[in-house]
Structure 1
Amino acid sequence: MYHRWSWITFLHWRCPPSVLQPMLPPGLAVETFDGSAWVGLTPFLMQGVRAPALPAVPGLSSFPETNVRTYVQDRRGRPGIWFLSLDAARLPAVLAARASYGLPYYWANMAVRVTGNQVAYRCERRWPGPRGLRCDVEVRLGPPLSETERDELAHFLTARYRLFTVIAGRVAAAEAEHPDWPLCQVELLRLDQDLLAGAGLPAPVGAPVLHASAGVPVRVGMWHWLEGP
């Protein structure tokens, strides 16, 4: 699939690896940084969604999405994303992603509003349950990150080029290709969410680590089963 991930905000919290490991299938292990696992909340706007050799379909190809995710490695040490939930505003996209990639997508009422340098995200889950889970986020975008601000943690949390899933009872992966994120400074103005609790996670502790970007074009390949046992 081809698309663009636009106006994305990354919110991350530390989480004990012992909390996340039981949520993973055999063959995947929590990946840590500075001794901690990390849980991410990433609202953004999906644009221009299309299959190869097909045009984007008006009314279906652009919609908000919000992911709850963590970071893992397979048995060969290859890093990637494990999604705990993905909320999207288009039911056909939700059904297609559940059927084709086995991802835990949910249909939700959502909106992304960009006003000058401020971005507001709204999400309220519709189907499948539990209904009513929410995520309201507002941020103010600042100047681009300097080279020193684009540190190892920023790379660990945002530079992810593989997703893992389970297809027919086996762990599979799909590769994501995109340019480096043009990250910028970001100020959190509002956060009201229970998507993390809905994914079975404990309440986050402290302020999140924040990054944001105007977006990049993305190509996600077809899934493939991992090699070996």
Structure 2
Amino acid sequence: MKRPWIGVQYWENPIFMHWPVPYDVLRSLVPEPFQLDTFHGRAWVSIVLFRSPRSHLRWGSGLFSLSSLSQVNVRTYIRFYEEPAVYFLTVYTNSKLSVLGARWLLSLPYQHAYFDGGSRTSFRMKQTNGDSFGRFSAHVYPSSERFTPEKHTLAHWLTERYHFYTIKGKHIVKATISHMPWRLSEARYNIKQNNLLAITPETRDPLVHVASSQTTYLYPPQVRGCQALAQF
């Protein structure tokens, strides 16, 4: 029986950018006991960008609500006991409350960032600490009709992920989201600046999609084991 959701966000035309990365490079960034997932033997890293004009908890939505949330997720793909999931390498957001909550509750690598106004197809952000890392600027334009990725395709493998794992102390924690299957468009893009992750290949063009807007629900995290006892 599915437990009730605890939070909701409306994701406005999220943008997916994906790069293949050498397996050994990504393996060094993903802790045991997680298995690095691959598609036809190739590992991937993705940047997912979205804005949410409304986000709130299920209870007390007037008190615990966020408006104009912007977020950039830098993630890769894992399996834990054969369950496909994502692992966040870094998450940038303009919400200081989200940064504090994600770090405290789940030890997720959230960073506070400043986002330019832009538009639905434009993202510009930089970390608030002013260093040379954590800067991204791009324009993305849909270039095809919407489609639903078929199972066993790369687009489906990269986007239809409903769980993420993290390690908090000695505990392995799983969190789950739910939403309707993604409707994607192929996209043209112009990346003006990107140093969110040093392993992102500058010489290789990413696979880029723009998705239809939709509502996403977050469910209570679950402890799925102890890091020290997990065996593979």
TM-score bracket, normalised by the shorter chain, equals 0.7 to 0.9
- In the alignment, is the contact (CA less than 8 A) between 2:173 and 2:221 conserved in 1? yes
Q: Give the CA deviation at 1:16.
A: 1.3
Q: Which runs of 5+ in 1 are unaligned?
A: none
The aligned runs of 1:12-27 (5 Å cut-off) are: 12-27=18-33
Question: Superposed, which structure 2 residues align to 1:193-212 within 5 Å?
Answer: 193-197=194-198, 201=199, 203-212=201-210
Q: 1:178 to 1:19 in 2, by over 3 A?
A: same
State the distance in 2 between where 1:59 and 1:134 align. 27
CA separation in 2, counterparts of 1:59 and 1:174?
20
**Higher mean Cα deviation, 50-59 or 83-92?**
50-59
| 2:17 counterpart letter in structure 1 | L
- C-alpha distance in 2, partners of 1:15/1:144? 28
Contact 1:10 1:43 in 2 (8 A): yes
Q: Tell me, in whole angstroms, the C-alpha distance in 2 between the residues paired with 1:203 and 1:209.
A: 12
Report the alpha carbon displacement of residue 19 of structure 1 after superposing the two structures with TM: 0.9
Partners in 2 of 1:82 and 1:205 — Cα distance?
Answer: 24
**Unaligned 5+ runs, structure 2:** 1-6
- Distance change in 2, residues 1:119/1:58 (3 Å): farther
Distance 1:57 1:196 in 2: 35
1:57 deviation in Å?
5.5
Q: Which residue of 1 aligns with 2:153?
A: 152
Amino acid in the other structure paired with 1:37: A
Question: Is 2:83 the partner of 1:85?
Answer: no
SS in 2 for 1:95: helix
1:34 is paired with a residue whose SS is coil
Q: For residue 138 of structure 1, what is the aligned residue in structure 2?
A: 139
The TM-score normalised by the length of structure 2 is 0.86
Could you state the TM-score of these two structures normalised by the residue count of structure 1?
0.87
Q: Cα distance, 1:148 vs. partner?
A: 7.4
Measure how far apart 1:215 and its partner are.
Answer: 2.0
Alignment match, 2:214: 216
Which structure features the higher share of strand residues? 1
Q: Which amino acid aligns with 2:223?
A: W
Match of 2:127 in 1: 125
CA RMSD between the two structures = 2.3
Q: Which runs of 4+ in 1 moved over 6 A?
A: 148-151
Q: Does 1:60 align with 2:66?
A: yes
| Percent of pairs with identical residues | 25
